[in-house]
Amino acid sequence: MKFTLSTAALLCLATSPAFAYSVGVFGGVPIRWQSSTVSFLVQAAGSDDLTPAKTDIAINNAMATWNDLACSDLLLKRVGDAPNPKSNLLAGANPNGLNEVQWLEDSSWTFGKWVLGVTAPLTNSSGHISEADIAFNGYKQQWSINGDGRIDVESVAVHEIGHAFGLNHNLGPYDESDLPTMHPSVLPNLQSRTLSADDTKAACYLYPVAQYACAGDTDCPMILGRTSSGDEFYSGRVKCDAATKSCGAVEYFPAGIAQIGEICEYDSSCVEGLRCLPWQDTAVCTGYCLVEDSGCPEDFVCAPFQNVPKYGACLPADGIPKEPGQGPAGCVSTEVCLGGKLCLPTPTGDKKVCTELCDAGNAGSCGAGRGCWSYGSTNGGCFDLGLFPADPPDAGPEPVADAAPEAVPDAAADAAPEAVPDAGPTPDTAASEVAPDASGTPDDGPDASGPGDSSAAEATAPDSAGPKGAVSDGGGCAGGGGGGASGWALGLALLAGLATSRRRVAALRH
């Protein structure tokens, strides 16, 4: 099957009708402020690039954006000056019980050039936020109040205050026409100044004026986790109780089991090294590839990204997404199989796949085009007739494979601990703000080496954005502008994300 650019564009255009937001949990309950009023000290001097009055207006506007939500009962109150940036947690200071908003204009900023701002919410033993400092990168970035090619104060401040509010990054899915302020990257064209429906829903959930009601799971938050390398992913979700219409129990997702070409919902659904990207009317686990040399496993093609045709993703050559355990790699145990299927050897014996158990004496029990392959007893497995050998061997003993379902580990016990603490400050960068130096090449890469526990955004694209993995390819698919600075952010992210996934894909070829 020939994959055209229009086919590859599905990687960008496929979206889910359900939208999302994410929070942290502690002991199975969301992390939030205990008081309905939270006081902040804001550095009166502001950014060295602006007058104090201009900085002041931008910060006040950002606070008002969250305070003006009619459904939220939390009030952020500015109560004074924070004149000494060295007292900020992000400058290496000890906790002092104060919530401070400051610019770090010297080497006390340790988060690299492309990190715009960082928020460090501290959680106490009761699961409540006890302190939340915000720091802006005044050391290696220049700031403005109108988006004139420099970093817009209000855009970054609304995002960072969202973290102080208790929100985590929104990895998707989301409405492409209403991108969230809590997107991992600050959005172009001052879009981050305006809260999306997802951002509003998150604030209403955490601090409802009246009881928060859910109609389904998508009205409840996702739980954000991080890998050992710092990559963010959805580790679980809060479920909606249909009887009470309230968001209640936390459900953790099982460890990644889906192989390349198999259907997924999140990056965490895939085995290590693969990403969940939208394709056709679903999403599949895949890895990035170079179109020129492919590097994809047998029966896969490197389908180019529409706006960056040099790079692509390995997709099934037959154009058919597979269920977990039914892709080219097959399955190892019944644990990976969905819908009551079992992990059984194929008629050719070359691997095991997830399939239904069938009655060997009933030729039609598997449906049209499929047959029941017997293992020497009354039971067998359903397989496509094309897999049956022309001369079936004599019936042998029962297969050594999983003829009966294995015990599936308890997701809440094995997939993740009940309490998922805030994973710590990760750099907040803007995909739309990364630009080349005078030589036409990036003069610095994204630095995500920040210490501690806080929340922020990384310049990543085309990265999976959670469920259905909405892809940002720099051409506006996930809000990035076309060309120019956005293109450099895309290039950096592609090269950074390419190494891991290409190593995984290369391993699958051998």
Contacts of 244 (CB under 8 A, 6+ apart): none
pLDDT tens, residue by residue, 154-192: 999 999 999 999 999 998 878 878 999 999 888 989 999
Per-residue model confidence (pLDDT) at position 152: 96
Q: Which of 128, 123, 197, 191 is nearest to 158 (CA)?
A: 191
Model confidence at 348, pLDDT cuts 50, 70, 90, reads confident
**Cα–Cα dist 26/23, whole Å:** 10
Per-residue model confidence (pLDDT) at position 452: 34
Q: Could you give the count of Cα atoms lying within 13 Å of 289 in the half-sphere of its Cβ?
A: 26
pLDDT tens, residue by residue, 361-382: 787 789 888 889 887 777 889 9
Cβ contact 409:368 at 8 Å: no
Q: Which residue has the higher pLDDT, 415 or 19?
A: 19
**Cα–Cα dist 58/105, whole Å:** 18
Q: 15-221+418-462+471-487 belongs to which homologous superfamily?
A: Collagenase (Catalytic Domain) (3.40.390.10)
Contacts of 329 (CB under 8 A, 6+ apart): 259, 260, 351, 508
pLDDT over 90 (residue 6): no
Cα separations in angstroms, 382 against 122, 316, 329, 369, 494? 54, 22, 18, 10, 41
Average pLDDT over residues 79-108: 97
Model confidence at 255, pLDDT cuts 50, 70, 90, reads low
122 SS3 class: strand
pLDDT over 60 (residue 13): no
Label the pairing between strands 151-152 and 143-144.
parallel
pLDDT over 60 (residue 3): no
Cβ contact 307:482 at 8 Å: yes
pLDDT over 90 (residue 247): yes
pLDDT over 50 (residue 493): no
Per-residue model confidence (pLDDT) at position 293: 82
Handedness of CA 406, 407, 411, 413 (dihedral sign): negative
Bridge-partner residues for 282, per DSSP? 279
- pTM: predicted TM-score of the whole model, two decimal places: 0.60
**Cα–Cα dist 370/386, whole Å:** 8
Helices (H), 152-286: 153-165, 197-206
Write down the mean pLDDT value for the chain.
75
- Where exactly are the structural domains of the chain? 15-221+418-462+471-487
Residue with the two structure tokens 């001052």: 190
Per-residue model confidence (pLDDT) at position 354: 86
Model confidence at 277, pLDDT cuts 50, 70, 90, reads confident
Would you give the distance in Å from CA 135 to the centre of its chain? 24
Label the pairing between strands 352-355 and 370-374.
unpaired
Cβ contact 221:23 at 8 Å: yes
pLDDT over 80 (residue 278): yes
Average pLDDT over residues 143-153: 90
pLDDT tens, residue by residue, 399-453: 444 433 333 333 333 333 333 334 345 455 544 333 222 222 333 333 333 333 3
**Cα–Cα dist 252/417, whole Å:** 9
DSSP state of 168: -
Helices (H), 137-196: 153-165
Model confidence at 392, pLDDT cuts 50, 70, 90, reads low
Per-residue model confidence (pLDDT) at position 429: 52
Cβ contact 339:329 at 8 Å: no
For 62-71, 79-88, 140-149, which range has the lowest pLDDT when averaged over its residues? 140-149
Per-residue model confidence (pLDDT) at position 233: 82
Average pLDDT over residues 482-493: 23
Highest-scoring range by mean pLDDT, 98-112, 335-349, 452-466: 98-112
Per-residue model confidence (pLDDT) at position 406: 35
pLDDT tens, residue by residue, 199-241: 999 999 999 999 999 999 989 999 988 877 778 888 889 999 9
